[in-house]
A and B are shown apart, each in its own frame.
Chain A
Amino acid sequence: MGKFQNNLQQHAPGRRQFLKLAGLGGAGLVIGLRLDPRAALAQQSGTPALSYNAFVSVTPDNQVRVLIKHLEMGQGIYTGLATCVAEEMDADWSQIVCEHAPADTEKYANLGMGLQATGGSTGMANSYQQMREAGAAARAMLVMAAAQHWNVPVADISVAAGVVRHGPHSATFGELAAAAAAQTAPAVDSLVLKNPSEFIYIGNPDLPRKDIGKNTGTALYTQDVQLPGMLTAVVAHSPRFGGKVRSFDASAALAVNGVQAVFEIDSGVAVVAQDYWTASKGREALKVEWDDSNAEMRGSKELAELYRSLLETSGTLAEKEGDAESVLSAAGEYLEASFEFPYLSHAPMEPMNCVAQINGNSAELWYGCQFQTIDQMVVAEMIGGRPEDVVINTLFAGGGFGRRANPFSDYIVETVNIAKQHPGIPVKLVWSREDDIRGGFYRPAFMHKLSASLGPDGKPQAFKARLVGQSIMEGTPLAEMSVVEGVDVSSVEGLVELAYHVPNRLVELHSPKVGVPVQWWRSVGNTHTAFSKEVFIDLLARNAGIDPVEYRLSLLEHNPKESAVLRLAAEKAGWGRDLPANTGQGVAVHSSFGSSVAEIVEVSVAGDRFKVERVVAVIDCGTVVNPDIVKAQVEGAVALGLSTALGDELTLTDGLVDQSNFHDYQVLRMSDMPEVEVYFVDSDLPPTGVGEPGTPAIAPAVANALAAITGKTYTRLPLKIG
């Protein structure tokens, strides 16, 4: 089999094209528009659904279908958005069925981004009003239909639990479905939304989740897609980032019974077969010579040396407030600490995968799509079609933690490159766990140096942070928005606009170019900035001989939100209570994605091992739409953050990733999982982020508990006592 040449070098959408899309702004608000029939995708009910607006339809057999514009990857967005609709529609919870919306930026943009995309903990925050309005609009149409039918005034009609009533009359939503769908959709500004005191679903802790099928093996993930004639592909990737195929010998691979095709694509050599095992046997038999002339050859050791040397030189200015340099160089007490963070793999339980079928200039894809707008544009460019010619069927994703929203659509491009060679046939790309762990797009490795000069009261008069780490945004279509005067805001978030009151502040950044691809990872820059900030502030507190909670509160007087979560956490945890020997408490507080979280842990130490026994987490995320799901998200965020404190660490030697699977990329298991108690600060404000904000505070809280026990300061993740 010869080499298939591929002429498509540039897959990322052009910046201009991207900005045009980004400029769509609030175009996602489409109440009142009728939905084209293609949107009603899945057929959970025997009868066709009648659309009321882009999000809500009702079937004659009384199902309410809610189209979910965000990817359900475990964060509970199906349930969350359905809650908002059910609330304002006065539907019965049991009649609500959710499905993913199609890819359609105009209708389903994330209102905070102008793109159809899930991320940045914006799912509920950007949809809360929109989905409530969608529910209220549908309710109004049902009421109008009933009023006509019964010839009674609209104002006298009541709706509860999916039944519309007036005097002796009553009708289910299903019975009114067709008549209601024929009504003119009400204008958004004519809708009257409920007062929080009237809520029956929002804030209800007992609503069963709507992402069903996960207890019976029937929920459908990309990995489970089976289509007639479908082929399965695996790809031999360069072992080094930036490596290219020099040559390959496919003969042994093609000799594997069942292997159908072997060919080169941009990202390696594809092996295509009827099923996964055959394809991976073919890949094992394949011989590839790699060209490393443009590959990253450095390992973690060399990069660490580079980063340490950069830490000693001034970087690009990210923030300057007052005159930190002169305060720091004046006489007086001065503290400094350096911090080191490794690369991290997302390692969601479902490795990357995608199914694509290319038909000339159009395409249909099935996968856990997190970035519909970007993926559509990228694929359209590859097949010479328009974005709307790329049909995306979004499926449940087996976790993501940021990985599935790739700014270059990496594994989607790979799938399409393979599927193009098999026109008209669906092709499923399957990554193994090794492909995933070694596939790049990691949380970047970082080093920080923090320094403070202290007043006579032990409080910081000046604070300086210097950070070294690769930029996530540079070189991506998002750079225009997120790299400001040479500073990637996602590199320094959490350390700029410092939550603590310090009059003089300076933050500098080095963003070295390294050939290891990096990407956002649950809570992005906060994964490292919260750690150094919170470990450092604890160090300052201990140095001043002041209780760490008191010390923080004294610097947070202007910040009622962080103060409140911290106070409540201290109260719930019994901060300062008597604990057994070799056990200590640690605290951290951090705000991200609009929410504030305080976490207090109890940790025990035995020899060089430690165990987190208890976690108390307090979150202020505005209105809590689904308390049980917010709790689950905080539990999960704590688990993922704890995993980075205990073991997650990705390293390279001579440009080769040292880890490959869960035996050497060690992630949290049940025996290391503490009980997590989650509490909320009451709030009537609109919802803010939930998926990510629980992650940043846990690792520093654990480090601070260790410090309380051993008296040492822990400045490196993962944590080691010895």
Chain B
Amino acid sequence: MSYSLNVNGQTFEVDVDGDTPLLWVVRDHLGMTGTKFGCGMAQCGACTVHIDGEASRSCVLPVSAAAGRQITTIEGLSSNAARAVQQAWVEVQAPQCGYCQSGQIMSASALLAKNSNPSDAEIESAMSGNICRCGTYSRIKAGIRRAADAINAGEVA
């Protein structure tokens, strides 16, 4: 079946079964591999994308449900919040193996787009679905705080 997908502001036609998770459409059919596979059951967050601005686990989102919506992957991040997060990630040297970090950055930027001054509890709740086996959590938290400060100080244009 053919689906029309809006990914990172571009329209793509894909011919796949409707139950194919968006993750595999993006990775295997569109060739965008920044979005990662970690569990396939909405447990780890490695596959996080934005659907109409909301952080969403693409490994359990059927392509049929993603059609017609604004899909943003790590390759298409461009919002202020996202750029602040990516900059902060460089500054705190968040990644170790890096495999979880696309998903972490997608979750963090969705959080900051809605709430540019999150409390620790709000950060933990927004990030609770993102596992990092390398244990970079403290740096991720520090990165989110730093990005929030940059946004609030108007340093991100």
Q: Is the CB of A215 within 8 A of B95?
A: yes
CB within 8 Å for A669 and B101 given contacts A76-B96, A636-B96, A662-B43: no
List residues 648-680 of chain A with CB under 8 A from any CB of chain B: 661-663, 667-671, 673-676
CA distance A211 to B21 in the complex (A): 30
- Chain B proximity mask over A334-353: 1 for CB below 8 Å, otherwise 0: 00000000000001111100
Q: Is the CB of A277 within 8 A of B21?
A: yes
B124 at the interface (CB under 8 A from A): yes
Most interface-central of A73, A215, A219, A673 (chain B CB within 10 A): A215
List residues 262-290 of chain A with CB under 8 A from any CB of chain B: 274-277
Contacts of B3 in A (CB 8 A): none
Q: Is the CB of B137 within 8 A of A639?
A: yes
List residues 610-669 of chain A with CB under 8 A from any CB of chain B: 628, 632-633, 635-640, 661-663, 667-669
A463 at the interface (CB under 8 A from B): no
Contacts of A223 in B (CB 8 A): 33, 36-37
Q: Is the CB of A636 within 8 A of B74?
A: no
CA distance A5 to B100 in the complex (A): 39
Binding site secondary structure of chain B:
loop
A221 at the interface (CB under 8 A from B): yes
CA distance A432 to B131 in the complex (A): 16
- Chain B proximity mask over A195-228: 1 for CB below 8 Å, otherwise 0: 0000000000000110101111111110110100
Q: Is the CB of B38 within 8 A of A350?
A: yes
A44 at the interface (CB under 8 A from B): no
A573 at the interface (CB under 8 A from B): no
Q: Is the CB of A661 within 8 A of B136?
A: no
CA distance A12 to B20 in the complex (A): 38
Contacts of A73 in B (CB 8 A): 97
A396 at the interface (CB under 8 A from B): yes
Q: Is the CB of A640 within 8 A of B93?
A: no
List residues 91-105 of chain B with CB under 8 A from any CB of chain A: 93-102, 105
CA distance A401 to B134 in the complex (A): 9
Contacts of B32 in A (CB 8 A): 217
How distant is A517 from chain B, measured CB to nearest CB, in Å?
A: 20
Closest partner residue, chain A, to B75 (CB atom):
A217
CB within 8 Å for A433 and B39 given contacts A398-B98, A667-B131, A676-B138: yes
Contacts of A224 in B (CB 8 A): 27, 33
CB within 8 Å for A668 and B135 given contacts A217-B33, A217-B73, A661-B43: yes
CB within 8 Å for A211 and B135 given contacts A226-B33, A277-B24: no
Q: Is the CB of A398 within 8 A of B89?
A: no
B110 at the interface (CB under 8 A from A): no
Closest partner residue, chain A, to B24 (CB atom):
A277
CA distance A351 to B100 in the complex (A): 12
Q: Is the CB of A349 within 8 A of B93?
A: no
Neighbour of B31 across the interface among A74, A76, A213, A226, CB < 8 A: A226
How distant is B109 from chain A, measured CB to nearest CB, in Å?
A: 11
Contacts of B130 in A (CB 8 A): 670
Q: Is the CB of A276 within 8 A of B28?
A: yes
CB within 8 Å for A349 and B99 given contacts A635-B139, A676-B138: yes
Neighbour of B98 across the interface among A74, A633, A661, CB < 8 A: A74
Q: Is the CB of B95 within 8 A of A214?
A: yes
Q: Is the CB of A217 within 8 A of B35?
A: yes
Contacts of B102 in A (CB 8 A): 217
How distant is B132 from chain A, measured CB to nearest CB, in Å?
A: 7
- Chain A proximity mask over B16-58: 1 for CB below 8 Å, otherwise 0: 1100110010011101111111111101101000000000000
Q: Count residues on chain A whose CB falls below 8 Å from chain B CBs.
A: 60
Contacts of A468 in B (CB 8 A): none
Q: Count residues on chain B whose CB falls below 8 Å from chain A CBs.
A: 55
Closest partner residue, chain B, to A226 (CB atom):
B31
Neighbour of B133 across the interface among A209, A211, A349, A673, CB < 8 A: A349
Q: Is the CB of A215 within 8 A of B105?
A: yes
A184 at the interface (CB under 8 A from B): no
How distant is B149 from chain A, measured CB to nearest CB, in Å?
A: 18
How distant is B88 from chain A, measured CB to nearest CB, in Å?
A: 9
Neighbour of A277 across the interface among B28, B90, B134, CB < 8 A: B28
CA distance A349 to B99 in the complex (A): 6
CA distance A218 to B33 in the complex (A): 8
CA distance A208 to B90 in the complex (A): 8
Most interface-central of A347, A396, A399 (chain B CB within 10 A): A399
Contacts of B139 in A (CB 8 A): 632, 635
Contacts of B127 in A (CB 8 A): 670
Q: Is the CB of A348 within 8 A of B97?
A: yes
How distant is B94 from chain A, measured CB to nearest CB, in Å?
A: 8
Most interface-central of A217, A632, A640, A676 (chain B CB within 10 A): A217
CA distance A399 to B136 in the complex (A): 12
How distant is B61 from chain A, measured CB to nearest CB, in Å?
A: 13
Q: Is the CB of A671 within 8 A of B124?
A: yes
How distant is B78 from chain A, measured CB to nearest CB, in Å?
A: 12
Q: Is the CB of A218 within 8 A of B95?
A: no
Q: Is the CB of B93 within 8 A of A636?
A: no
Closest partner residue, chain B, to A667 (CB atom):
B131
Contacts of A638 in B (CB 8 A): 135
How distant is A398 from chain B, measured CB to nearest CB, in Å?
A: 3
Contacts of A215 in B (CB 8 A): 86, 89-90, 94-95, 101, 105
Q: Is the CB of A216 within 8 A of B36?
A: no
Q: Is the CB of B97 within 8 A of A209?
A: no
List residues 106-137 of chain B with CB under 8 A from any CB of chain A: 123-124, 127-128, 130-137
Neighbour of A275 across the interface among B24, B43, B97, CB < 8 A: B24
CA distance A302 to B130 in the complex (A): 35
Contacts of B34 in A (CB 8 A): 216-218
How distant is A684 from chain B, measured CB to nearest CB, in Å?
A: 25
CA distance A203 to B21 in the complex (A): 46
Q: Is the CB of A349 within 8 A of B86?
A: no
A257 at the interface (CB under 8 A from B): yes
CA distance A68 to B124 in the complex (A): 36
| Closest 9 pairs (CB-CB, A-B) | A217-B34, A639-B135, A398-B99, A214-B98, A74-B97, A74-B96, A217-B74, A224-B33, A673-B137
A-B contacts, 7 listed (Cβ < 8 Å)? A218-B34, A224-B33, A347-B133, A396-B97, A430-B37, A663-B41, A673-B137
Extra contacts besides A432-B40, A640-B135, A662-B131 (4): CB < 8 Å: A217-B34, A277-B24, A398-B36, A633-B96
